[in-house]
Structure 1
Amino acid sequence: MTKYVYRFGGGVDDGGNGDKNLLGGKGANLDGMASIGLPVPPGFTITTEMCTRYYQEGGKFPDSLYDEVKRGIAHIESVTGKKFGDASDPLLVSVRSGARTSMPGMMDTVLNLGLNDATVEGLAAVSGDARFAWDSYRRFIQMYSDVVLALDHSAFEEALEIAKEDKGFHLDTEMGAEDWKALVGEYKAIVEKLWGRPFPQDVNDQLWGAVGAVFGSWESDRAKVYRRLNDIPGEWGTAVNVQAMVFGNMGDTSATGVAFTRDPATGENAYYGEYLINAQGEDVVAGIRTPQYLTKAARERAGARPLSMEEAMPETYAELARVFEILEKHYRDMQDIEFTVQQGKLWMLQTRSGKRTAKAALKIAVDMANEGLITQEEAVARVDPAALDQLLHPTLDPKAPRDVLTKGLPASPGAASGIIVFDADTAERRAELGEAVILVRVETSPEDIHGMHAAKGILTARGGMTSHAAVVARGMGRPCVSGAGSLSIDGKAKILRIGDRQLAEGDILTIDGATGEVMAGEVPTVQPELAGDFGTLMGWADKVRRLKVRANAETPADCQTARDFGAEGVGLCRTEHMFFDAGRITAVRQMILADSEAGRREALAKLLPEQRSDFTAIFEVMAGLPVTIRLLDPPLHEFLPHEEAEFEEVAKAADVGVETLKRRAAELHEFNPMLGHRGCRLGVTYPEIYEMQARAIFEAALDVAAKSGEAPIPEVMIPLVATRKELELMKAVVEATAKSVFEERGKTIDYLVGTMIELPRAALMAGEIAEVGEFFSFGTNDLTQTTIGISRDDAGRFLTQYVDKGIFARDPFVSLDVEGVGQLIEIAAERGRKTRSGIKLGICGEHGGDPASIAFCEKTGLDYVSASPYRVPIARLAAAQAALAAKK
């Protein structure tokens, strides 16, 4: 019989062995902390396998699970000496989710479970604190009603606010025992009104309702969005952790907090966190109360007055600091910790590898390697390549004027400008229209996840450095300013007030997540400097990677950016981009609309010096490195005139009538141009086009070699080849042109002629094509389109649903479809090598900057990947990680 429940704490070891796949991250680490002797409240974990079965069986549990859970509850009872449901000394438990990968705030939690009208009296008596008992009961009813009964939580919030107003109270902590008892009565009445039944009093019914709700939250909309954004497979499921409650709301000797063993924003080796006296954990992360600093140094830096934990609870803080050291050495990574202090006793509720900014990830990895805690190779493997994107873009210009409106907490570094929006749906909708948006909220919740992802930055009026907004923003790499208390937000009127200043939705706002500043208008930016820890880690990465990394670039500026980022050549230079220049488009149109070779050659003669100048500028930047140049590829209709004035301009340049040109344009019209007269088909029909481009390439290469003494290595790529004969004909044109140029100049340079594999037939016939082609560059954008039969320009309307429904694990235009398109690449690589053993193989589609696709390229043995300039460092790191994974 499959085992679904694993106990932890109290010296019990059920053999879970810290298996995150089975126990989830939280369960595995609770088991791990208990096994090394840290103070962990006893409990048990229901495995991720049960989550899968729960959904397979329509939300039902097998009979065997009831017996296993009963045994788990008995374990907690034996360790604590309390009984679940006992009216005199009740055991209370928390029920929490725990996927194998951290998903902060995405799934549900229920605290104080086991309270009812009888046990609350017992809790009051045994604790000697009636206020604490009734506060815990009202929290439980409110949380259970929201999470399990799916009732409107605002009804409970409204009742609480009215109760405080009636008493003239501002804070929850001002409420007394009788106040909470009265509110419990109101809460129970709200439940009966909204649910149609009384609040559940049977503690076992409460438990199974909570377990089902936590498993159910795995398929909530917010969890699905988070999984899609973070590439977490839906089949992983979540575990459920049931654990004895410990209470941070038992007076001034009790507290709760969240802490990191190092600063998750900067990576500084200093404790970082917040705590609240007389509170439960949800109070810290939900932003209901403003928490206090963990350390004296952090409090003094912020100029805050309330005492830090280090000052208010020095003995407990010292014990916590010792635990930090133990955990970091045990897990060999920066830890994100939740803890509770119950009447002076420290309890550890969770530890996990902490989410961090890219800057912090680099510093922590490099520092830990230098400290000897991990190896250099482990440091390389620790940093998420995609997270480097946070470092590769501009930040606010420190010299630029700033109209500072207010200052909040610097919750997630980086800077962003955009229009103000006040809700997640508007943020997503306006971002889809191409607008940069700043999401402004009183506080964010998990339901805001889609808007947070769409936004360039996030600003909240409430919440601390470990609030939902801060944690999620850091994980996404979004700048965030939280806890800007002077903000007054009117969500209905869509107005933001700061003092006597007022801004409306659509106004421009800038936030600086490094300083916490909030500014009116747009502030200019400066380019980042990538040195220090970045340079160190990239050096370590370059030592272990096998794949070369090139860039997709067709301007000197892009080439320089790529080279600065460590590119080892150009993997794709799209020549058609050069043809759209306003000074050339008339000659291009004249060439296309000409009805004779003589007419085309006349127009091409005007383009030759322009093309030569383009290639010269690129070769100067890339001297000594390979540059793959794709000859003209797109369908000709993309260049054709549309307006009357454009036809008249071309007609005048070509000395023909406007009606003649319009008739010629109509002849060139295609019903499906992306599969029509484009790529090498242009060269076969009009070889003079490719002849002109080849001449420009070789003349420019010789000019740069003579000037710099360092010859570039042109790789002439023939696009959209489907047959050996097409490539043979086009290669002959290129070679004849090269021979002619070399004879004219009396000098030669090395070059290659190859093709882009972007059609299924080309992949299947790669053995024959390699008889002619000296390199293959896989154009995975078009190869994906032609293999799956989906247009990447139109698929955005439905691909999200395909991913949500599990048809594709990820958008195949973002991450390579390894099973389908990948199989064609493997076939082409194998057959190409069989014909030409030294053939050079690479990919140049957008997948060249995707870490998962790069891992496939390493496995397939390709020679290089090519990515956009700003993704070159990402590709370098991902290639190193792929090489390390292959070694294992």
Structure 2
Amino acid sequence: MTTLTQSVRTPLVMSLHDGDRTMVDLLGGKGANLAEMTRLGLPVPHGFVITTEACRTYLVDGKEPAELQVLVLERLHELVIEAGRGFGDVADPLLVSVRSGARFSMPGMMETILNVGLTDATLPGLADRGGERFAWDCYRRLTQMYGRTVLGVGADFFEDALARAREARGVADDSGLDADTLRELTAEFRRICVEQGGEDLPQDPHEQLVRSIRSVFESWNGDRARLYRLHEGISDDLGTAVNIIEMVFGNTGPDSGSGVCFTRNPATGAPGAYGDYLPNAQGEDVVNGSRVTLSLDDLDRLQPAVHAELLRHLETLERHYTDVCDVEFTVEDAHLWILQTRVGKRSPAAAFRIAVDLADAGTIDMDEALVRVDGGQLQSLLHPQFAPGGTSDVVATGLAASPGAAVGELVFSSGAAVIVAAQGRKVVLARPETSPDDLAGMLVAEAVITSRGGLTSHAAVVARGLGRACVTGLRDLEIDVREHRIVLQDGAILAEGDVVSVDGSTGEVCRGRRDVRPSPVAAALQATTVLEAPATEDPTAAAVVRLLVHADLRRHLGVRANAETLADAKAAKGFGAQGIGLARTEHMLLGDRRVLVEKVVTDSGRTEALAKIEELTRHDFLEILEEMDGLPVVVRLLDPPLHEFLPDLVDLSTRVAVIEERGQHDAGLEHLLAVVRRWHEVNPMLGLRGVRLLAVVPELLDAQVRALGDAYAELLVRGRNPQLEIMIPLVSDEKELKQARARIESALAEVSARRGLDLTVPIGVMIELPRAALTSGDLARSAEFFSFGTNDLTQTTWGISRDDAETSFLGLYRQQGLLSFDPFDTLDERGVGRLMHISCEEGRAARPALGLGLCGEHGGDPASVRFCADLGLDYVSCSPPRVPVARLEAGRAAVLSERVDAGSDTR
């Protein structure tokens, strides 16, 4: 039915029969997929969707659109006809669920209310349908959900009452409570609502519905939903749909039940249906961990016909969605209902394996497989894992809910996890079961362990999405959050602060700290050259290698590494780097060698110090250039502030003062103090460094360039193919660039004459100041290439120190929503990216063949790599372990760009 009020605007309410999965922006993920399954003919309960447009209006205006209630009543009337039951009918009442459903999956972050429409008047009619216990179980669930969600009553009030009831009746879980107990509990819950929420459960079914809808709208801006969106990068402007769906009941007896399953194992990616089932239960019992779940094999044993039908529907869904699907289902008196599906969240390991398996099956092609994984998932697979063997004190084994290895101090609340992690210590969050309120703690924890819950519990699903190790269902221990301890089966205690090791791949929790080893994925990548077939028996590692090989075939963006030691160069090549995009010469002059620069600046043994700098630089780069033979090596001349090479002014002043107090003098120390005072700067990061230092102390430039030239010449004589490039840092004006370039060319000419070789070396500029970006047309006349030093470019563009911001205000800015990302982790496309765009455009206008690269830490960030690919850079450079991430994202960027150009779906 379409009314005149809807005809001129975006629909506010839609029937499931009128939608499909392409309408996800309007119907939300849950509603769009319910509509799609309805279209496919799957057994979906009847219902309708209040669209995200209605929610957005509510969030802006503070109230529902004027016509919304009328539209809801119209659709409710249609639902009554479809269901054959009356909403509020005392003889045969229709009950509905009111569930959120955003554009992007936000598991457990917003609200759901079940059994809406149940009142004192309609309860007898429901009891006639399913029995007294069933009816009172539904009523106490509605009262509990309504009280918590609509009236704002704390969940603990209801949970404590339930716990007392279980203890009094001597039962382990809620399913053991009889009808009389549930009647008493419902009455107690209603008293709690009055005492804590200020009012009783409404006895008008329509009031229940209206206020439940409003509470779902409001949950969009709840603390946990906002925190989840911030972490996942989901816009606050999208709003949620509200799904009004006919209730079907899994709690009517032994032939009923509820379950959650996946079409493939979401932890490992192995094929085959995988999930949990609870007889005589509603859906929240499965995910909240309150009862021990059964497997799908148990469902096959209990109800083989239902199990067979479920497998057929799972096969239909995976084939239709061409991806692993997460499915919620209910069995009501042996009749199967499919309540929800979505593309399933999976662990990083499973993501790669599933993508390749689907490609091998011909369900998708390798391009699609590539865009279904991402660099963040790959990064998590490169972390170390527990070493096999050795001694370990396994205190309990549960369900391997999310793979990975983690070591940390035990904490028992989300708040404690946040506090301890902020102190720089690693934590493991232990809870009986997690709820959406634990998200903040899960975000900072290394791992999550729960004594309850299955493989599809809240803890398992969220941990997999976050890439955290997780073990659930640890039945052999008691997690006592009130006493901040774990009681083991033998009576031993693990207290808050004790260190444990969690293996999310085996389900083991160990007392103490276990040794770790590199991941098999990292090992496989180190043993695999670019474009080589996989050579590993580990299925995840093999899948990663295959997708990286495909990414290398598809990408246009080169990937180099930041490296200045022979070990780093070897690691870079092992991870598939196509050269070195940044070799920082100052790293070779720190530590024990720092005194050499000090001697040059203080004119204390300057000649000998310069000779030693030249000797050491020649030796180091001879090794690196030889290791990277045939691949470019961009060497940045001395860049850091001068104070990093000089004694601390305060310490030096104190030493001199102590000597003077004794009536003594140290001429050398006093001379050094005078020199340090002369060079002292209030803000050295914006002072004498980079090209400025090389202009003031040009002998440093000469020594470095002669050493590079000698190493270059030596390898040429040996018949090797070194690809040296020299980069000048912190340039802000063409004149200083020209002066430095002339000095470099003179030093190279000196080596050429001495060696009898023509040494031609590209000379470039590191763009790390806004002025350099804005005058790139001038700089390009004297430079063969640009490399964006985005660490400093971000600092100087934002006016924020990357060393201080996170501890002072940047973290607070993110919490307050003033920043949605850390600009030092992910490139600021609007500000810094705009400067890069100007620089690229003007630089190549002046020199069409100008090389363009990026060498800041952003070179290993997935989103930043995609931006660089779209910008048309030649390469990015990052730390060696992040090279695979950059390779993968560069390939994905190429595929996605082609899809955009072709106007096709980019998923």
Distance 1:545 1:659 in 2: 58
Corresponding residue SS for 2:260: strand
Aligned partner letter, 1:635: P
**Structure 1 counterpart of 2:620, from 606, 614, 623:** 614
Report the alpha carbon displacement of residue 672 of structure 1 after superposing the two structures with TM. 1.4
Corresponding residue to 1:109 among 109, 112, 118: 112
Deviation at 1:433, TM superposition (A): 2.4
Q: Could you list the per-position Cα deviations for residues 734-773 of structure 1 after superposition, in whole angstroms to 9, with x for gaps in the alignment?
A: 2222222233233455521101111111111101100001
User: Quick check: 1:762–1:769 contact (8 Å CA) kept in 2?
Assistant: yes
AA aligned opposite 2:70: D
Provide the C-alpha distance between the structure 2 equivalents of 1:749 and 1:79, rounded to a whole number of angstroms: 84
Q: Which residue of 2 aligns with 1:586?
A: 595
Q: Which moved more, 1:656-665 or 1:278-287?
A: 656-665
8 Å contact 2:374–2:862 — kept in the other structure? Answer: no
CA contact (8 A) 1:4 1:65 kept: no
The Cα shift of 1:579 comes to 2.0
Stretch deviating more after TM superposition (35-44 or 68-77): 68-77
Aligned partners of 1:601 and 1:209: how far apart in 2?
A: 83
Match of 1:543 among 528, 553, 557: 553
Residues 17 and 310 of structure 1: CA distance in aligned 2, closer, same or farther (over 3 Å): closer
Alpha-carbon shift at residue 536 of structure 1 (Å): 0.8
Residue 422 of structure 1: aligned partner = 412
CA contact (8 A) 2:20 2:39 kept: no
Structure 1 residues 194 and 269: CA distance shift in structure 2, 3 A: same
Question: Per the alignment, in what secondary structure is the counterpart of residue 264 of structure 2?
Answer: coil
Shift of 1:794: 2.5
Q: Secondary structure of the equivalent of 1:115? A: coil
Maintained 8 Å contact 1:275/1:292: yes
What's 2:663 paired with? none
Amino acid at match of 1:794: D
The answer for the alignment partner of 1:794 in structure 2 is: 804
Query: 1:693 — aligned with what?
Result: 704
User: Residues 18 and 31 of structure 1 are in contact (CA less than 8 Å); yes or no, is this contact kept in structure 2?
Assistant: no
Post-superposition offset of 1:787: 1.5
The 10-residue stretch of structure 1 (690-699 or 506-515) with the greater mean CA deviation from structure 2: 690-699
- Which residue in 1 is equivalent to 2:28? 24
**Where does 1:183-198 land on structure 2 (aligned, <5 Å)?**
183-198=185-200
Deviations 1:378-407 (A, max 9, x none): 111111221101211211111322221111
Partners of 1:382 and 1:646 in 2: CA distance? 60
Of 751, 773, 795, which aligns to 1:763?
A: 773
Given candidates 199, 202, 215, the residue that maps to 2:201 is 199
Instruction: Indicate the residue corresponding to 2:324 in structure 1.
Output: 334
Indicate whether 1:224 and 2:226 are aligned. yes
Distance 2:868 2:57 in 1: 35
CA distance in 1, matches of 2:679, 2:766: 25
Alignment partner for residue 511 of structure 2, among 520, 532, 543? 520
From 742, 761, 764, the equivalent of 1:754 is 764
1:144-183 paired onto structure 2 within 5 Å: 144-183=146-185
Give the residue type in structure 1 aligned to 2:91. Answer: S
Asked whether the 8 Å contact 2:21–2:33 carries over to 1, the reply is no
User: For residues 400-447 of structure 1, what are the alpha-carbon distances to aligned partners after superposition, in whole Å with 9 as ceiling and x for unaligned?
Assistant: 222211111111111111222222222222222222221122221112
Q: Which position in structure 1 is the counterpart of 2:902? A: none
Which of these residues, 488, 500, 503, is aligned with residue 494 of structure 2?
A: 503
2:454 and 2:558 map into 1 onto residues whose CA distance is 43
CA contact (8 A) 1:45 1:239 kept: yes
In structure 2, the residue corresponding to 1:399 is in which secondary structure? Answer: coil
* Alpha-carbon shift at residue 656 of structure 1 (Å): 5.9
Residue 812 of structure 1, CA deviation: 1.9
Alpha-carbon distance change, 861 to 96 in structure 1, aligned in 2, over 3 angstroms: same
Q: Is the 8 A contact 2:561 2:582 kept in 1?
A: yes
Counterpart secondary structure, 1:225:
helix
Letter in 1 for 2:614: L
Which residue number corresponds to residue 472 of structure 2?
Answer: 482
Distance 1:621 1:446 in 2: 51
Is 1:83–2:115 an aligned residue pair? no
Residue-by-residue CA offset, 1:703-748 (whole Å, 9 max, x unaligned)? 44555x4323122111110111111111112222222223323345
Aligned length: 861
Q: 2:738 aligns with which of 728, 745, 757?
A: 728
- Which residue of structure 2 lines up, in the alignment, with residue 641 of structure 1? 647
- Counterpart position of 1:839: 850
Alignment of 1:85-484 (within 5 A): 85-127=88-130, 129-295=131-297, 308-484=298-474
Question: Kindly tell me: are residues 362 and 527 of structure 1, through their superposed partners in 2, closer, same or farther at Cα, counting changes over 3 Å?
Answer: same
**Paired residue type of 2:841:** E
CA distance in 1, matches of 2:678, 2:324: 66
The match for 2:833 is 822
| Distance in 2 separating the partners of 1:670 and 1:514 | 52
Any conservation in 2 of the 1:94–1:111 contact (CA below 8 Å)?
A: yes
Deviates more, 1:486-495 or 1:103-112: 486-495
Q: Alpha-carbon deviation of 1:510? A: 0.6
Q: Does 1:875 align with 2:871?
A: no
1:874 CA displacement: 1.4
- Secondary structure of 2:270 counterpart: coil
Once the two structures are superposed, what CA deviation does each residue of 1:767-789 show, in whole Å capped at 9, x if it has no partner? Answer: 11000011001111211221222
Aligned to 2:861: 850
Counterpart of 1:503, as a letter, is L
Is the partner of 1:2 in helix, strand or coil? coil
CA distance in 2 between partners of 1:49 and 1:751 (Å): 60
- Report the Cα offset of residue 168 of structure 1: 2.5
- Give, in angstroms, the shift of residue 803 of structure 1: 4.0
Deviates more, 1:697-706 or 1:24-33: 697-706
Q: What is the CA distance between 1:646 and its match in structure 2?
A: 12
User: Which moves more between the two structures, 610-619 or 411-420?
Assistant: 610-619
- Tell whether the 8 Å contact from 2:749 to 2:759 is kept in structure 1 after alignment: no
Give secondary structure in 2 for the equivalent of 1:271: strand
The DSSP-based 3-state class of the residue aligned with 1:347 is strand
Q: Deviation at 1:244?
A: 0.8
Give the percent of matched residue pairs that are identical in Structure 1 and Structure 2.
Answer: 49
Partner residue in 2 for 1:304: none
Q: Secondary structure at the match of 2:160?
A: helix
| Compared CA separation, residues 710 and 256, structure 1 to 2 (3 A) | farther
Partner deviation per Cα, 1:176-200 (whole Å, 9 max, x = no partner) = 1111111111111111111222222
**Can you list the C-alpha shifts for 1:81-134, whole angstroms capped at 9, x where unaligned?**
11112222111111111111111111111111111111122211233x110010
Alpha-carbon distance in 2 for matches of 1:480, 1:826: 42
TM-score by length of 2: 0.92
Task: Sort the Cα spacing of 1:621 and 1:391 in 2 relative to 1 into closer, same or farther, 3 A.
Answer: farther
What is the SS of the residue equivalent to 2:106?
A: coil
Q: TM-score, normalised by structure 1?
A: 0.94
User: Where in structure 2 are there 5+ consecutive unaligned residues?
Assistant: 1-7, 525-540, 660-665, 900-907
Shift of 1:355: 0.9
Match of 2:528 in 1: none
Cα distance, 1:621–1:448 mapped onto 2, change above 3 Å: farther
Q: Deviations over 1:534-579 (max 9, x none)?
A: 1111111111111011112223223222221211111122222222
| 1:837-883 superposed Cα distances (whole Å, 9 cap, x missing partner) | 11100111122122222222222211111122222111111111111
Match of 2:55 in 1: 51
Match of 1:300 in 2: none
CA contact (8 A) 2:85 2:92 kept: yes
1:364, CA displacement in angstroms?
0.7
Q: Which amino acid aligns with 2:830?
A: E
CA shift, 1:686, in A, is 0.9
